[in-house]
Amino acid sequence: MSNQFTPLIDALYRDDVLEARLMSSEEKVVLGEELFEYACSITLAGIRSQNPGFSQEECERELQRRIDLSELMEK
């Protein structure tokens, strides 16, 4: 399925790939950590929304449970 945005999406993806190739390994590690922390913050917000009675500690335990489950499913 093709649409009018496909060329733009392809160009943006190509730019991202080219930019990533210019990064050092250290920059990639830092960006990976930032992306992981961002994803965790979004997931925590979802957990809080789904479980309004949870304490911060309970939310963090649920986040860890989901991370562990995801790692188990990848094996």
pTM for this predicted structure: 0.73
Residue 57: the pLDDT is 98
Residue 2: the pLDDT is 65
- Say how far residue 4 (Cα) sits from the centre of its chain: 27
Residue 8: the pLDDT is 92
Determine, yes or no, domain membership for 4: no
Range of the domain at 40: 24-74
Average pLDDT score over residue span 19-39 = 96
CB-count burial class (<10 Å; 0-12, 13-18, 19+) for 22: exposed
The tally of domains found in the chain comes to: 1
In this prediction, residue 1 has a pLDDT band, given cuts at 50, 70 and 90, of low
In this prediction, residue 42 has a pLDDT band, given cuts at 50, 70 and 90, of very high
